[in-house]
Chain A
């Protein structure tokens, strides 16, 4: 099993550009989520999904969109990148009520 796979590992964007962070898991987990991690602020939930076709907002959803067309994939879209979105992004998945499996993260810099 590959677990949770995130791509790319690093990305530099200019303000206003859009991009999609990819996330895929091969553990048949129904729950998937996106977190951002900033220094001194822990991990904050952006969006989550409890199954294919179902998504919902977390703590900090503004500026991001998600979709869940399959159980395996949960891409995160940045609509118009801003410097405040410079962060490390983690995708995670799990069975409901159990510990999260995290991907290796995407380090995003917006200039």
Chain B
């Protein structure tokens, strides 16, 4: 089945520092989605990337889809304590099934 590898598994940053998580696949992806899960909460959809080389921004969050559509990244500029949580990438396959990466748990130190 579809596999997406996500790194790093954990990241601790000082508040105000930047943060990046990476998602890699050995196969070409039709598209990729990103989710955020707060501690004790449920995943919340952030964005979907479809086009090769696509870059989308949501305030301090920048999402990129690689030219070969085999990798993606999420970059947060100047982290805040509200950014704490686990960020998942997920690859979309047929029938709208998503295969999730293992996630990157972000801790922001005030």
Contact = CB atoms under 8 A, between A and B. Distances in A.
Contacts of A44: 100
Given A40-B102, A99-B33, A99-B48, A94 B96 contact: yes
A33 to B, nearest CB: 7
Interface residues of A, number: 27
A45 interface: yes
Contacts, number: 59
Nearest to B46: A99
Given A41-B102, A42-B88, A100 B43 contact: yes
A56 B43 CA distance: 22
Nearest to A94: B96
B42 A102 contact: yes
Interface string B1-42: 100001001000000000000000000000001010000011
A102 B43 contact: yes
A94 B98 CA distance: 11
A58 interface: yes
Interface residues of B, number: 25
B68 interface: no
A96 interface: yes
Interface in A73-111: 90, 92, 94, 96-105
A41 B42 CA distance: 15
Interface of B: 1, 6, 9, 33, 35, 41-48, 88, 90, 92, 95-103
17 contacts: A31-B95, A35-B100, A42-B6, A42-B88, A42-B101, A42-B102, A43-B88, A43-B98, A43-B100, A48-B96, A50-B96, A58-B97, A90-B42, A99-B33, A99-B47, A99-B48, A100-B33
